[in-house]
């Protein structure tokens, strides 16, 4: 769940972003999703990951 990455934000910043390491995180349930409950909504994931240097965010989507 993307919401649980908030707990590891410091580690992501210090261990990967600052050292410019090539790491790929695949996160599930980004944004507001289904009926998993409020604690499982990753509504802040994009906001707090955007501030990290060198981070590229991508989201899959269906073709039009």
- Residue 14 tokens read as 């210090």
**Which one of 11-15, 46-50, 54-58 scores highest in mean pLDDT?**
11-15
How far apart (Å, rounded) are the C-alpha atoms in residues 16 and 36?
Answer: 29
- pLDDT tens, position by position, 4-38: 888 889 999 999 999 999 999 888 877 777 777 77
37-59 mean pLDDT? 85
SS3 53: coil
* Predicted local confidence at residue 53, as pLDDT: 92
29 phi-psi bin (left φ>0, alpha ψ -120 to 50, beta other): left
Q: Domain coordinates of the chain in residue numbers?
A: 2-50
Q: pTM of the prediction?
A: 0.73
Q: Read off φ and ψ for residue 59, nearest 5 degrees.
A: -135, 130
């Amino acid at each position: 769940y993307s919401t649980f990455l908030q707990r590891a934000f410091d580690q992501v910043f210090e261990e990967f972003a600052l050292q410019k390491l090539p790491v790929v995180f695949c996160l599930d349930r980004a944004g507001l999703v289904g009926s998993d409950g409020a604690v499982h909504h990753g509504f802040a994931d994009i906001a707090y990951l955007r501030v990290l240097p060198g981070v590229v965010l991508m989201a899959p989507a269906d073709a039009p």
